Structure 1
Amino acid sequence: MVVGFFFVVISQFGARLAARHSVTWFLASGFVLVAAIRPDWLLPVARLMGISLVSNMVLAGLTMFLFVQMLAHYAESTRVQRQLGQVVSALAAQTFPDVPATSEGGRPRVLVVLPCYNESESLPALLPRLTALTRATPDWELDFCIVNDGSVDGTAGVLRRLAPRNHVTHHTNIGVSGALRTGFLLAQRLEVSYVVQCDADGQHPVESIPDLVRSARSGQTDLLIGSRFCDVATGGTDTLVSTTPLRWVGGRVVSMLLGMFGQQAQVTDPTSGFRVYSPRAVATLLRLMPDEYPEPESIALVALAGLRIGEVAVAMRPRTTGTSSLTGLKGFQFMTKVASALFGLRLRSLIRKEPSALVPTAEGVAPPMVSLTSREPASLPPAEEGRLGG
């Protein structure tokens, strides 16, 4: 019974419990496990605290009661934080300038979404490349939106000066997932054919975006990942120019964990933030957006929805300005959070199957619950009950 209880707790990582607190929950679960099986081990601690115990059963009961109260508190806190993030995204998406209802000459629309936090040093070099790209893609009507996620350096001033109509602002930091949600809400308003996610630090080769979109379109791929290591998997050589050995090892571990969701989810570069989303992938992730570090978990969610995943090789640049957000202890926390979220998602998917993201229509297939053209820009995702994603 005790083991079953902890499986239930783990299954809620990324759902009712934010996976970013998974280390705390593993420690608390271990404490409760000891209290339930060997409560006498805790007696010395109780005596040091000056607590007189009636029996071991009382200790175990009180510990379980406190644990359940913590669960309820964290679940409510997670729900409120998600709702606040949804409000921030919805309000920010409304501030992007309107565009004509139909594209010029019927060309497909592509929106490049760049989550951005404290990138004032990299933006002056990146923005001219993005602007030139919008003028050099005759096959697409391409636009870009930089989502300033509560930056505290000079990012806001740089964007006002160099990209006045190509950015939106979060007045508080809600993370990459929140910035991506803002871009997805904007994409549904603009009725785009594809959304491209790209980092704002200049590492991703934005000039490769047209080729990525063509690959996604020709392969009818719903999630196409630009991989730093795709050639390595087929016998090429990897110089690790754009990453570190530790991060490379972490990526391999995440790829192995994604194998729980099928072979196509086991991509070579699961943490890459350079990717293309179809309307069907956008629809799925708007309903089930992970809390943070969305790249690995979004692959699992798209795979569970029965959508097509692919990857192509890209050559990324090393970071020349700023610092990585995943170093030292943060790297360990990232791995713990991602592993917990993926295990929890897999347990929930075995208990409760998520309906496919595709439903039959006269034309073939279409997104079922959310589409890029069916919801108002200010509308918020549905309630958290029944949530699979984290």
Structure 2
Amino acid sequence: MITTDLDVADPGPGSAAAQAGQPRILLIIPCYNEEASIGDVLTQIARTGRRYHTLVVDDGSTDATAAVASERSPVARLPQNLGIGGAVQAGIKYAARNAYDFCIQIDGDGQHDPREIDALLDAYQRQSANIIIGSRFIDNAGFRSTRLRRLGSRLIGLTLNNLFAGSRITDPTSGMRLLDRHAIAFFARRYPVDFPEPISLAWAMRAGLRISEAPVEMRARETGVSSIDGLKTVNYMIRVLGYILLARLARQS
């Protein structure tokens, strides 16, 4: 099923998971021109055997992403490209509207192994946190990106840890993360458009939400290329650090 808004059919409280008292979990999969990988991602999710609900948010793709994804999942097709922040918030708004207990963001390019979702859920059960980040840098296993991007991520994490008390973040740019009901409600109201992964953490920390991490293994993207490479990494890092500083100053105003 493809829709241009968020009125995607939802299984609702009569679903088997709800009747069994199990938490209702939505996997938000933002995509832009991922026709070559999204089918495999959805197949891998199905193979986990978990009762996840999925929502592919097609962020104005110009290829067949929506058509491929709709064979295996509900799809919300945005009428124009909003960027990763807008696509993710569309999924979060859907999760809030349909009263999901958790939503978990994973990428549509194959970098995130759906089997690692269990690590996020297990960490939530052990730790009192509203957001669980899947971190590549706790166990340093699997694909960890380029050296320059790892340096940038480390500097961003150190800045967050120094400016906002209460959390130690090793992988602030990770796009694999779990939100509970409190975090869903918070981000359904407002979510950053630019650099959403690290800036959303700054906003959450400023608001007093609790953040933790779980070690996960990631993979190199199956298709396409990253939009943040080379000198773009340096520009990304500088701008993110500026936004984080502004978020910290806003806390004091």
Identical columns (%): 34
Based on CA coordinates, which of the two structures has the bigger radius of gyration? 1
CA contact (8 A) 1:242 1:319 kept: no
Find the partner of 1:290 among 187, 192, 202: 192
CA contact (8 A) 2:13 2:19 kept: no
Q: Which sections of structure 1, spanning at least 5 residues, go unmatched? A: 1-89, 232-237, 352-390
CA contact (8 A) 2:206 2:247 kept: no
Measure the CA separation in 1 of the matches of 2:145 and 2:172.
13
Tell me, yes or no, if structure 1 residue 145 matches structure 2 residue 80: no
In structure 2, what is the equivalent of residue 169 of structure 1?
77
Measure the CA separation in 1 of the matches of 2:119 and 2:143.
22
In structure 2, what is the equivalent of residue 279 of structure 1?
181
Tell me, yes or no, if structure 1 residue 115 matches structure 2 residue 30: yes
Compared with structure 1, are the counterparts of its residues 282 and 261 closer, same or farther at alpha carbon in structure 2 (3 Å cutoff)? farther
Compared with structure 1, are the counterparts of its residues 105 and 241 closer, same or farther at alpha carbon in structure 2 (3 Å cutoff)? closer
Measure the CA separation in 2 of the matches of 1:239 and 1:131.
24
Tell me, yes or no, if structure 1 residue 99 matches structure 2 residue 11: yes
> Residues 182-197 of structure 1 correspond to what in structure 2 (within 5 A)?
182-197=90-105
SS in 2 for 1:114: strand
TM-score, length basis structure 2: 0.90
In structure 2, what is the equivalent of residue 180 of structure 1?
88
Q: Which amino acid is 1:149 matched to?
A: D
Q: Which amino acid is 2:226 matched to?
A: S
1:285, distance to aligned residue in structure 2 (A): 1.9
Tell me, yes or no, if structure 1 residue 219 matches structure 2 residue 121: no
Measure the CA separation in 1 of the matches of 2:213 and 2:183.
15
TM-score, length basis structure 1: 0.60
> Residues 150-161 of structure 1 correspond to what in structure 2 (within 5 A)?
150-160=60-70
Structure 1: 4+ residue segments shifted above 3 A: 263-266
Q: Which amino acid is 2:149 matched to?
A: R
Measure the CA separation in 2 of the matches of 1:241 and 1:109.
30
Find the partner of 1:270 among 172, 192, 212: 172
1:129, distance to aligned residue in structure 2 (A): 1.0
1:269, distance to aligned residue in structure 2 (A): 0.6
Name the structure where helix makes up a greater proportion of residues: 1
CA contact (8 A) 1:202 1:319 kept: yes
Compared with structure 1, are the counterparts of its residues 258 and 158 closer, same or farther at alpha carbon in structure 2 (3 Å cutoff)? same
Tell me, yes or no, if structure 1 residue 203 matches structure 2 residue 111: yes
